Amino acid sequence: MLLAIDTSTAQMGLALYDGTQVVGETLWHSRRYHTVQLAPALSELLARTEVSIASVEALGVALGPGSFTALRVGLALAKGLAVARGLPLIGIPTLDVVAASRAVCELPLAAVLQAGRGRIAVAWYRAEGERWQAEGPAKLTTVEKLAEAIRKPTLVCGELTAAERQRLARKRKNVLLASPAESVRRPALLAELAWQRWKAGEVDEVAPLAPIYLHVGEEIPA
């Protein structure tokens, strides 16, 4: 059994996955209560699924980008469990989870997250076999600049406000925008990605594993 933990942004989530099915999953929005909500949510998920924490054999955690404080909450829990129980830990970039929500196709994909102060984090993906492959690290930008950068049919998926959705839809006919439901960052997908890496022997060292923070020197729009 693998436990997945995602506290990258206001959208939080947990999932239990055994390689053949999603045993349990919970996700919710929390503005400033990640610290007080995460442990009780895990206890509730374990109780609801009748799974003992002793049955968890590996851990997957979303690494960001995202909120500085929120990311540290999830990573602290994951590291604590990994050290206390000697479990393998697998860190997954959060935008990889966003990309995994879309079926792989020949079109390019822009996966986005809210980054605060009018900014978004975006990473570009292309199809590689049956999965999405990131073309580089995530960058800070704005919806306006993202729209300007899209010059051919492109999938766009992830956290966007209603106003940002309207701007993208208005500015570029080439934007193929996923619906809000299709853009939900599911912890079950995080669990599946982490499971694949775990079974491939791609496990992270616990102590040096760190969140992905975007460059603080990036220009912040007025």
* pTM assigned to the model: 0.94
Q: Give residue-wise pLDDT tens across range 185-211.
A: 999 999 999 999 999 999 999 999 999
Q: Which pLDDT value is given to residue 172?
A: 67
pLDDT > 70: percent of the chain: 95
Q: Which pLDDT value is given to residue 70?
A: 93
Assign a CATH topology to domain 2-93+186-199: Nucleotidyltransferase; domain 5 (3.30.420)
Looking at domain 95-177, its CATH architecture is 2-Layer Sandwich (3.30)
pLDDT at 218 over 50: no
Assign 173 a pLDDT band (cuts: 50, 70, 90): confident
Q: Give residue-wise pLDDT tens across range 18-51.
A: 999 999 999 999 988 899 999 999 999 999 999 9
The residue that leads in pLDDT, 221 or 93, is: 93
Q: Are residues 219 and 115 in contact, defined by beta-carbon separation less than 8 angstroms?
A: no
pLDDT at 159 over 90: yes
Q: Give residue-wise pLDDT tens across range 102-116.
A: 999 999 999 999 998
Domain ranges across the chain: 2-93+186-199, 95-177
